[in-house]
């Protein structure tokens, strides 16, 4: 890491005009074809999505979207930037400090040109791009993302939009969690502040009363319903990425099954998965990887993955999803570290498997997540009762404390309607049983936790099991764990430090 705080030193550097010019000239050479993947969503996709949203918007309205904030990790290091999925879906823009306006009706500019959308983006800046990466700039956004109108974000403040003339100005309300970078007067913080002035954003007290009572045209709740309807049903282009993310994630599960040995650390297992994802060109994980051995598997979103050595008595629960061009898989496999399920582990495993199978049989257009959830709960409760872990099938318990299903897409818990599945919705079925230490049952069950999570697409009459490639029955998992692994001969030298 080069110790140079760009934010603080930028002003000092800006006088170095000649150097800037030289950097700019050489930087443009860096943007060669092949330096970036070429299989992102097409500009036509994003344009069509904006058109679909425009159709849904109420009459005489405008929808306003802001890019995600940059998040600080510590001191002068930020987390890797991730665009807000709504913003990405509608634009394809992957940079911060941007705002998008989508108008229901055509607007007329001062030069009499008509337009129905505008995007404001961060400007090209040779010095900053040298430190923090390429920027599209206003022209790049028009060339590469297909916008007819684009401006640098510095123009937003004085850009003349009379928001008072609209019946509704729709936007997601702000979380007040955006930092102001003092070196940038048009960063997201400023864009939001400028927008608030433009729309006469209510004071804190006014915010507690309803929109009707406030008698203004700001609608901070309506947009989400439209985005759920749109994003919940995937297009062919999106499905291609989801299939790829799922396939890569299945391969990750298979490679770990082959490579796993007692004594490995949870982190090492996580590393194998993530290496496999990246080997197949996935850019990242879609959510923090969960690799929990034994009791750690009982923590639903266990992301520390800190256990130094997994033991042959334990199950290991691995909930992992590659993100491919923004779209994430979400797949969980639970496997025995020894390569063979004990009788008790298998008994719990098969209840979860049966619960999943029962929901898989029912998932088709018109069915709700609530119905699928209920089916899985019934099977789990019956199974737990048969094993004597609960006393009655109606007993309230915490052995299966979560729902069975959610949409997947640009978010791991993606936007979508939950009341009636439709063709080309993509979602998980993920029942689980978790029996932590000191549970009110025979201690022989303590420390057994099983989740089985697969990804599906709703078809015309049923569903397509997207993640069927990852072994799922105890027999298939045990057989896979016997296969040789390319990592069997991957032995690193003992760390000795300096000679
Ligand atoms: N990986 C998070 C979930 O399964 O919902
Ligand atoms: Mn999930
Ligand atoms: Mn998951």
Ligand 1 contact via 453 beta carbon (within 6 Å): yes
> Which ligand is nearest the CA of 407, by number?
2
How remote is the CA of residue 107 from the centroid of ligand 1, in Å?
43
218 and 250 both lie in a single domain: no
Of 211, 229, 247, the residue that ends a domain is 229
307 and 243 both lie in a single domain: yes
247 and 171 both lie in a single domain: no
Mutate to test the pocket of ligand 1, among 245, 301, 352, 400 (most ligand atoms within 8 A of CB): 301
* Domain contains 393: yes
405 and 460 both lie in a single domain: yes
224 and 262 both lie in a single domain: no
220 and 237 both lie in a single domain: no
* Domain contains 489: no
The answer to whether the CB of 237 falls within 8 A of the CB of 42 is yes
pLDDT digits (tens, 9 = 90+) for 355-388: 999 999 999 999 999 999 999 999 999 999 999 9
Q: What are the distances in angstroms from CA 299 to CA 6, 81, 138, 355, 430?
A: 40, 27, 46, 20, 15
* Domain contains 4: no
Mean pLDDT lowest for which of 6-10, 84-88, 414-418?
6-10
How remote is the CA of residue 46 from the centroid of ligand 1, in Å?
27
Of 210, 229, 248, the residue that ends a domain is 229
Beta strands, E only, 44-192? 61-66, 72-74, 77-78, 99-108, 114-121, 150-152, 168-171
Ligand 1 contact via 430 beta carbon (within 6 Å): yes
Give the helix/strand (H/E) hosting 331: strand 331-336
| Residue 1 clears pLDDT 70, i.e. is over it | no
| Residue 162 clears pLDDT 60, i.e. is over it | yes
pLDDT at residue number 204: 74
Ligand 1 contact via 414 beta carbon (within 6 Å): no
* Domain contains 490: no
Ligand 1 contact via 287 beta carbon (within 6 Å): yes
Higher pLDDT among residues 51 and 202, named by residue: 51
| Residue 442 clears pLDDT 70, i.e. is over it | yes
| Residue 406 clears pLDDT 70, i.e. is over it | yes
pLDDT at residue number 31: 55
Structure confidence at residue 17 as a pLDDT band (50, 70, 90): very low
* Domain contains 429: yes
Q: What's the rounded Cα separation, in Å, for the pair 53 and 82?
A: 22
Q: What's the rounded Cα separation, in Å, for the pair 269 and 261?
A: 10
**First CA to last CA across the chain, in angstroms?**
26
Ligand 1 contact via 187 beta carbon (within 6 Å): no
Cβ neighbours around 471 below 10 Å, total:
19
Q: How many residues does the chain have?
A: 499
pLDDT at residue number 20: 42
90 and 204 both lie in a single domain: yes
| Residue 206 clears pLDDT 90, i.e. is over it | no
| Residue 14 clears pLDDT 90, i.e. is over it | no
CA neighbours within 13 Å on the CB side: how many for 5? 10
- The closest residue, in CA terms, to atom 4 on ligand 1 is 330
Counted domains in the chain: 2
Of 199, 229, 259, the residue that ends a domain is 229
**Residue at token pair 């997540």:** 369
pLDDT digits (tens, 9 = 90+) for 216-236: 899 999 999 999 999 999 999
Q: What's the rounded Cα separation, in Å, for the pair 37 and 278?
A: 13
* Domain contains 103: yes
How remote is the CA of residue 412 from the centroid of ligand 1, in Å?
7
Query: Residue 186 is encoded by which pair of tokens?
Result: 């048009």
Structure confidence at residue 302 as a pLDDT band (50, 70, 90): very high
Core vs surface per residue 113-141: b (16+ CB within 10 A) or e: eeebbbbbbbbbbbbbbbeeebbbbbebb
> Which ligand is nearest the CA of 253, by number?
3
* Domain contains 495: no
Mean pLDDT lowest for which of 7-11, 197-201, 344-348?
7-11
298 and 395 both lie in a single domain: yes
Ligand 1 contact via 411 beta carbon (within 6 Å): no
Q: What's the rounded Cα separation, in Å, for the pair 225 and 185?
A: 33
The answer to whether the CB of 1 falls within 8 A of the CB of 77 is yes
- Those residues whose beta carbon sits under 5 angstroms from the ion ligand 3 are 319, 330, 453
Handedness of CA 174, 176, 179, 184 (dihedral sign): positive
pLDDT at residue number 110: 83
From the list 65, 60, 62, the residue with the least C-alpha distance to 167 is 60
From the list 398, 383, 470, 485, the residue with the least C-alpha distance to 428 is 470
How remote is the CA of residue 407 from the centroid of ligand 2, in Å?
8
The answer to whether the CB of 169 falls within 8 A of the CB of 64 is yes
225 and 237 both lie in a single domain: no
Q: What's the rounded Cα separation, in Å, for the pair 125 and 402?
A: 47
Ligand 1 contact via 427 beta carbon (within 6 Å): no
318 and 368 both lie in a single domain: yes
Q: In this structure, what CATH number is given to the domain that contains residue 143?
A: 3.40.350.10
Q: What's the rounded Cα separation, in Å, for the pair 177 and 163?
A: 24
pLDDT digits (tens, 9 = 90+) for 51-81: 999 999 999 999 999 999 999 999 999 999 9
Give residue 432's domain range. 233-481
How remote is the CA of residue 173 from the centroid of ligand 2, in Å?
26
* Domain contains 348: yes
Q: In this structure, what CATH number is given to the domain that contains residue 410?
A: 3.90.230.10
253 and 351 both lie in a single domain: yes
Averaged pLDDT of the chain: 92
Q: What would the DSSP string read from start to end of 416-428?
A: --SSS--TTBEEE
CA of 402, closest atom in ligand 1: 5
204 and 344 both lie in a single domain: no
């Amino acid at each position: 890491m080069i110790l140079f705080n760009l934010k603080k030193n930028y002003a000092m550097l800006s006088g170095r005009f000649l150097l800037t010019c030289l950097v700019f000239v050489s930087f443009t050479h860096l943007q060669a074809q092949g330096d970036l993947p070429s299989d992102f969503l097409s500009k036509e996709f994003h344009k069509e999505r904006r058109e679909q949203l425009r159709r849904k918007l109420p009459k005489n309205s405008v929808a306003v979207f802001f890019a995600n904030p940059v998040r600080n990790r510590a001191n002068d290091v930020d987390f890797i930037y991730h665009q807000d999925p709504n913003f990405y879906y509608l634009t394809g823009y992957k940079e911060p400090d941007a705002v998008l306006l989508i108008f229901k009706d055509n607007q007329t500019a001062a030069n009499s040109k008509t337009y129905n959308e505008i995007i404001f983006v961060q400007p090209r800046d040779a010095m900053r791009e040298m430190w923090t990466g390429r920027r599209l700039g206003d022209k790049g956004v028009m060339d590469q993302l297909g916008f007819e109108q684009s401006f640098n974000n510095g123009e937003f403040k004085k850009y003349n939009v009379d928001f008072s003339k609209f019946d509704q100005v729709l936007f997601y309300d702000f979380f007040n969690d955006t930092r102001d970078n003092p070196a940038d007067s048009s960063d997201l913080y400023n864009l939001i502040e400028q927008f608030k002035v433009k729309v006469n954003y209510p004071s804190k007290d006014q915010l507690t009363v309803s929109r009707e009572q406030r008698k203004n045209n700001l609608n901070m709740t309506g947009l989400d319903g439209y985005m759920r309807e749109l994003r919940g049903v995937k297009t062919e282009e999106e499905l291609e990425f989801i299939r790829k993310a799922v396939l890569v994630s299945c391969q990750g599960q298979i490679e770990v099954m082959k490579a796993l040995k007692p004594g490995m650390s949870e982190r090492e297992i996580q590393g194998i998965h993530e290496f496999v994802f990246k080997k197949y060109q996935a850019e990242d994980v879609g959510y923090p990887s969960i690799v929990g051995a034994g009791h750690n598997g009982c923590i639903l979103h266990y992301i520390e993955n800190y256990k130094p050595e997994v033991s042959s008595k334990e199950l290991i629960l691995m909930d992992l999803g590659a993100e491919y061009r923004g779209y994430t898989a979400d797949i969980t496999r639970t496997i025995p570290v020894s390569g063979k399920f004990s009788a008790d582990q298998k008994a719990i495993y098969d209840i979860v498997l049966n619960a999943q199978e029962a929901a898989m049989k029912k998932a088709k257009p018109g069915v709700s997540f609530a119905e699928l959830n209920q089916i899985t709960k019934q099977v789990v409760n019956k199974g737990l009762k048969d094993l004597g872990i609960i006393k009655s099938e109606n007993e309230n318990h915490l052995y299966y404390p979560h729902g069975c299903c959610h949409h997947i897409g640009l978010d791991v818990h993606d936007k979508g309607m939950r009341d009636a599945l439709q063709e080309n919705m993509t979602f998980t079925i993920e029942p689980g049983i978790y029996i932590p230490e000191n549970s009110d049952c025979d201690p022989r069950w303590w420390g057994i936790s099983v989740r089985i999570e697969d990804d599906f697409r709703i078809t015309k009459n049923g569903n397509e099991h997207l993640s069927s490639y990852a072994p799922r029955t105890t027999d298939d998992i045990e057989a896979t764990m016997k296969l040789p692994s390319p990592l069997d001969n991957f032995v690193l030298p003992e760390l000795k430090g300096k000679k």
